[in-house]
Chain A
Amino acid sequence: GQNIDQPTEMTATEGAIVQINCTYQTSGFNGLFWYQQHAGEAPTFLSYNVLDGLEEKGRFSSFLSRSKGYSYLLLKELQMKDSASYLCAPLDSNYQLIWGAGTKLIIKP
């Protein structure tokens, strides 16, 4: 079957760094997306990885290891507005996004 595993909730301090891990099992693999979703709002695109390695985009970076079925999202210089859920979503062999429940990130002053 297809499965996404992310921590349910994480807490971090404003200005700090946090890493949100995601492990996945899918039928085939065509890349992995990270989305941010604020409460009561639709998801917004953060990053896409299809090759192994780290992709950096401003304060956010995303890493992928295809052999390990593992990805992480790294958030630096945390701001209060980063409080949201972060969704890891791999693409399976049918190019369908597989959604997990996401990680709720709580930022404290």
Chain B
Amino acid sequence: GAVVSQHPSWVICKSGTSVKIECRSLDFQATTMFWYRQFPKQSLMLMATSNEGSKATYEQGVEKDKFLINHASLTLSTLTVTSAHPEDSSFYICSAPRGSGGRSSYEQYFGPGTRLTVT
């Protein structure tokens, strides 16, 4: 089946630095990818929708200048957390729709997630 990969799996960085997380669709093309953040014991929170070749759509309350999203190709989207702070420590997950049209466009394949710890 379709697979979505993320890199890195975990990262520790110092406060004030920037971290880039990559999300790749391995055997299918994804014009749309989604970025989520999940704090312990809480639900997935949609941060933004990444659109290939155009600007990302951010959810209310998510700072677009802090969480930079680039969807440069049909198989790669990146999330850069700029000037990271300890409160940005979280589990970041990307997903991509299985296909286009009908149910397959809503069933999402998730990447394995990236655990970010900011010290």
Partner-B contacts on A (CB < 8 A):
4, 30-31, 33, 40-45, 48, 50, 87, 91, 95-97, 99-102
Contact = CB atoms under 8 A, between A and B. Distances in A.
A87 B44 contact: yes
Nearest to B49: A96
B110 A43 contact: yes
Describe A's contact surface by its main secondary structure.
loop
Interface of B: 41-46, 91, 93, 95, 103, 105-113, 115
Given A31-B103, A50-B103, A44 B110 contact: yes
B54 to A, nearest CB: 18
| 8 nearest A-B residue pairs (beta carbon) | A42-B110, A101-B43, A99-B44, A99-B43, A42-B113, A42-B93, A43-B110, A42-B112
B2 to A, nearest CB: 11
B106 A30 contact: yes
B44 A91 contact: no
B43 to A, nearest CB: 4
15 contacts: A30-B106, A40-B91, A40-B113, A42-B111, A42-B113, A43-B93, A43-B110, A45-B109, A87-B44, A95-B105, A97-B106, A99-B43, A99-B44, A101-B42, A101-B43
A47 to B, nearest CB: 10
A91 B93 CA distance: 19
A97 B103 contact: no
Contacts of A97: 46, 106, 108
A63 B93 CA distance: 28
B107 A43 contact: no
B40 to A, nearest CB: 10
B46 A96 contact: yes
Contacts of B44: 43, 87, 99
Contact of A95 (B91, B93, B106, B115): B106
Nearest to B93: A42
Given A4-B43, A42-B111, A48-B103, 16 more contacts: A31-B106, A33-B106, A33-B107, A40-B113, A42-B110, A43-B110, A44-B110, A50-B103, A87-B44, A91-B106, A95-B105, A95-B106, A97-B46, A97-B108, A99-B44, A100-B43
